[in-house]
């Protein structure tokens, strides 16, 4: 082979190597990009799951601690501060504005004496940028003095942003008959002094990265959580009436025992036993029994034993 042929053969080998190397690098680059895209998507899904879980956990804990005192019949509904209120705007499934009293507040010793009762509210509101929706949560240790169906303003004390970039939020409520509803008002005649027995909370959150190449991105899938209301409405009138009846029963069942009657009439009993010493053991054995149960059978002249 001539010198020129040997050089031409070497050049071809180099071109083959370069081409093969280029193919390998191209494949590796595409594989790395696919892995990066998949990893980023998985990370975004994980972040979305954590955000949704945080929201659901917070709402669930509050609803499980919901408490309601039944309105007395003689009290005007507008003067009764206890209420469980749920309103639906029609933008999603379930109520997107809820307000109720709960028993999950931990008093802080530094602030003096505090109750464990608070008023809590959730509602959707436009974000300050005017482009997205936020889920706001409000909590107040001060119970209202009268019925208040209003919701706080964004700048009121106790208001916090629970979640931003919210696509949907709703709470469906179940009554004792098993029927589901998007609204609830315990101050009305239909739901007077009633709490739901269960609820289903749903939330859907948009990705934090709103810049997307898709003209119409798919709506995010909602996350759901079932809730059971652990506390039933408290009827103070019935409770107080029950305590009063128990006291009356105790008074009725209370009696003067034989021992107490003997102690109140020591002189006359001593004279009787002096004449009838055989009754001493009998009276001692009946010491814890009611005197009235044996008054007819005991020939004792006693007073103040009823």
121, pLDDT greater than 90: yes
Question: Mean pLDDT across the stretch 131-160?
Answer: 89
Decide which of 115 and 249 is more confident.
Answer: 115
- Choice among 6-20, 34-48, 111-125, 243-257 with the minimum mean pLDDT: 243-257
116, pLDDT greater than 90: no
pLDDT range class, residue 294, cuts 50, 70, 90: low
Question: Which pLDDT does position 227 carry in this prediction?
Answer: 92
Report pLDDT digits (tens) over 8-28. 557 777 777 788 888 888 888
Distance between CA atoms of residues 48 and 289, nearest Å: 73
pLDDT range class, residue 1, cuts 50, 70, 90: very low
Residues whose CB is less than 8 angstroms from the CB of residue 156 and which lie 6 or more positions away in sequence, other chains included: 138
Decide which of 42 and 96 is more confident.
Answer: 96
Report pLDDT digits (tens) over 182-216. 999 998 888 888 899 999 999 999 876 555 555 56
- Other Cβ atoms less than 10 A from the Cβ of 203: the count is 26
Question: Which pLDDT does position 191 carry in this prediction?
Answer: 84
Question: Which pLDDT does position 233 carry in this prediction?
Answer: 85
Question: Mean pLDDT across the stretch 252-277?
Answer: 76
Distance between CA atoms of residues 267 and 138, nearest Å: 74
Question: Which pLDDT does position 243 carry in this prediction?
Answer: 47
Question: Which pLDDT does position 107 carry in this prediction?
Answer: 63
Residues whose CB is less than 8 angstroms from the CB of residue 237 and which lie 6 or more positions away in sequence, other chains included: 70, 72
- Choice among 145-159, 166-180, 212-226, 233-247 with the minimum mean pLDDT: 233-247
130: phi > 0 → left, psi -120 to 50 → alpha, else beta; which?
left
119-123, 147-151, 233-237: range with highest mean pLDDT: 119-123
19-33, 39-53, 155-169: range with highest mean pLDDT: 155-169
The SS3 assignment for 161 reads strand
Report pLDDT digits (tens) over 54-92. 999 999 999 999 999 887 777 776 778 889 999 998 777
What pTM, to 2 d.p., does this model score? 0.64
Decide which of 199 and 129 is more confident.
Answer: 199
Question: Which pLDDT does position 268 carry in this prediction?
Answer: 79
Decide which of 183 and 2 is more confident.
Answer: 183
Residue 211 in tokens: 């810049």
Output the CA torsion 179→185→189→190 (10° steps): -10
6-15, 49-58, 138-147, 282-291: range with highest mean pLDDT: 49-58
pLDDT range class, residue 244, cuts 50, 70, 90: very low
71-75, 159-163, 275-279: range with highest mean pLDDT: 159-163
DSSP string, the chain: --HHHHHHHHHHHHHHHHHHHHHHHHHHHHHHHHHHHHHHHHHHHHHHHHHHHHHHHHHHHHHHTEE-BPPPTTS-GGG-----EEE--SSSSSBSEEEEEES-----GGG-S--S-EEEEEEEEE-TTSSSEEEEEEEESSPPSS-------TTSTTEEEEESSEEEEEEEEE-TTS-EES-EETTSSTTTT---SEEEEEEEE--S----S-SSPPPPPPEEEEEE--SPPB-HHHHHHHHHHHHHHHHHH---BHHHHHHHTHHHHHHHHHH-TTHHHHHHHTTTSBSTTTTTTS-----S--
């Amino acid at each position: 082979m001539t010198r020129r042929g040997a050089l031409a053969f070497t050049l071809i080998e180099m071109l083959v190597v370069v081409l093969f190397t280029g193919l390998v690098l191209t494949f590796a680059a595409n594989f790395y990009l696919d892995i990066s895209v998949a990893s980023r998507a998985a990370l975004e899904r994980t972040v979305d799951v954590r955000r949704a879980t945080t929201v659901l956990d917070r709402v669930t804990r509050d609803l499980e601690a919901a408490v309601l005192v039944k309105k007395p019949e003689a009290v005007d509904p507008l003067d009764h501060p206890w209420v469980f209120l749920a309103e639906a705007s029609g933008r999603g499934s379930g109520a997107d504005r809820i307000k109720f009293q709960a028993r999950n507040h931990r008093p802080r010793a530094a602030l003096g004496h505090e109750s464990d009762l608070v008023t809590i509210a959730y509602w959707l509101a436009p974000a300050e940028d005017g482009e997205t929706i936020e889920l706001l949560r409000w909590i107040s240790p001060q119970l209202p003095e009268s019925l208040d169906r209003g919701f706080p303003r964004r700048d009121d004390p106790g208001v916090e942003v629970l979640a931003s970039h919210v696509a949907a939020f709703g709470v469906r409520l179940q009554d004792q008959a098993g029927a589901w509803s998007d609204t609830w008002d315990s101050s009305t005649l239909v739901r007077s002094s009633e709490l739901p027995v269960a609820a289903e909370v749903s939330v859907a959150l948009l990705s934090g990265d709103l810049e997307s190449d898709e003209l119409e991105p798919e709506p995010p899938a909602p996350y759901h959580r079932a809730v059971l209301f652990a506390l039933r409405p408290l009827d103070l009138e019935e409770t107080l009436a029950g305590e009063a009846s128990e006291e009356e029963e105790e008074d009725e069942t209370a009696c003067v025992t034989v021992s107490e009657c003997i102690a109140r009439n020591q002189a006359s009993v001593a004279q009787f036993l002096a004449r009838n010493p055989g009754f001493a053991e009998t009276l001692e054995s009946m010491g814890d029994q009611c005197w009235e149960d044996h008054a007819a059978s005991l020939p004792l002249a006693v007073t103040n034993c009823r």
